[in-house]
């Protein structure tokens, strides 16, 4: 793959990036902010992140606000049909997030949810790579 990658972050990676700017997810987020990659999130990802920050990570509230002010591309309007299709692949409340990723067709969906998103049945059914931040870093900087 050549050129600028389109990355879709799920909520686990966005929280990790905001909480640990020097960890793998934080490094990838910094590269997005620098214009090296295009970043996509869904409206549900933002809702989940906001809820988790309020409940568990109040100290990163300012970082989340700064992230929102950076104007990431937000995927919204995922249809019930798209969510049902995704639910056939990932039978959890993560189906709307997978549906949004399928809708935007990123090069990579980056997640820490290994249990659900990295199942072979999910990975084999989508047209993009699903990986952790560290796996993405290894793939990208290996080239």
Beta bridge partners of 8: 40, 109
**Count of CB atoms within 10 A of residue 104's CB?**
18
Q: Give the pLDDT mean for 3-10.
A: 91
The predicted pLDDT at position 92 comes to: 83
pLDDT in tens, 71-85: 999 999 999 999 999
- Per-residue pLDDT tens over the stretch 15-57: 999 999 999 999 999 999 999 999 999 999 999 999 999 999 9
In this prediction, residue 109 carries a pLDDT of 98
pLDDT category, 3, cuts 50, 70, 90?
Answer: low
User: pLDDT exceeding 90 applies to what percent of the chain?
Assistant: 90
Burial class (CB in 10 A: 0-12, 13-18, 19+), 9: buried
pLDDT of residue 91: 86
109-142 CB burial, b ≥16 within 10 A, e <16: bbbbbeebbbeeebeeebebbbbbbeebbeebee
> What pLDDT score does 122 carry?
95
Question: Which of 46, 37, 59 lies closest to 139 in space, CA to CA?
Answer: 37
Residue 2 is predicted with a pLDDT of 47
CB atoms within 10 A of CB 11: 23
């Amino acid at each position: 793959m050549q050129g600028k990658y389109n990355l879709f972050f799920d909520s686990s990676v966005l929280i990790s990036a905001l909480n640990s700017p020097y960890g793998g997810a934080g490094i990838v987020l910094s590269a997005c902010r620098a214009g090296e990659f295009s970043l996509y999130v869904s409206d549900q990802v933002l809702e989940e992140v906001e809820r988790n920050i309020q409940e568990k990570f109040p100290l990163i509230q300012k970082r989340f606000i700064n992230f929102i002010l950076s104007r990431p591309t937000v995927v919204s309007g995922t249809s019930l049909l798209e969510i049902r299709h995704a639910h056939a692949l990932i039978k959890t409340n993560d189906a709307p997030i997978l549906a949004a990723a399928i809708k935007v067709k990123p090069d990579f969906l980056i997640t820490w949810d290994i249990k659900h998103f990295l199942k072979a049945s999910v990975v084999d059914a989508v047209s993009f790579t699903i990986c952790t931040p560290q796996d993405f870093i290894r793939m990208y900087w290996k080239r």
